[in-house]
């Protein structure tokens, strides 16, 4: 899904995954049940929601990777609050442990070239 927006006076296009856009539409139906029987209006409302977000946050939005940022914002909007709380408590990503050569070669000093 491509959505044309104006950011800081410049026209640009945002790409939104179709499934994510459908989920935004479903979230809007949850907020406004009358939209359930009106798919065209639901579609237009979802686009308007995205344009409003861009307009309201224009100063904070990055100039690069705008589409990715907007998709992340949509996820934050439609995601249940309980999931957001879990992410805030534990952090967003699993952090890999640093590689430690001594775990593979306990006697690693013998492997060094002299």
Q: For 39-88, how does the pLDDT look when each residue is reduced to its tens digit (9 = 90+)?
A: 888 889 899 999 999 999 888 888 788 999 999 999 988 988 888 788 78
Does the reported pTM lie above 0.75? no
Phi then psi for residue 57, to 5 deg, are -115, 20
Taking the C-alpha atoms of residue 79 and residue 73, their distance in angstroms, rounded to an integer, is: 10
Taking the C-alpha atoms of residue 19 and residue 21, their distance in angstroms, rounded to an integer, is: 5
Domain ranges of the chain: 1-88
Is 49 in contact with 20 (CB distance < 8 Å)? no
Least confident range of 10-24, 57-71, 99-113: 99-113
Taking the C-alpha atoms of residue 22 and residue 43, their distance in angstroms, rounded to an integer, is: 8
């Amino acid at each position: 899904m491509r959505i044309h927006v104006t950011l800081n006076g410049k026209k640009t296009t945002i790409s939104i995954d179709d499934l994510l856009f459908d989920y935004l539409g479903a979230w809007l139906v949850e907020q406004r049940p009358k939209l359930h029987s009106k798919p065209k209006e639901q579609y237009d409302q979802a686009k308007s929601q995205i344009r409003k977000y861009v307009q309201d946050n224009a100063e904070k939005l990055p100039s690069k990777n705008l589409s990715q940022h907007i998709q992340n914002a949509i996820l934050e909007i439609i995601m249940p609050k309980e999931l957001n709380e879990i992410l805030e408590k534990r952090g967003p990503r699993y952090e890999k442990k640093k590689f430690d050569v001594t775990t593979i070669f306990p006697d690693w000093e013998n492997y060094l070239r002299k």
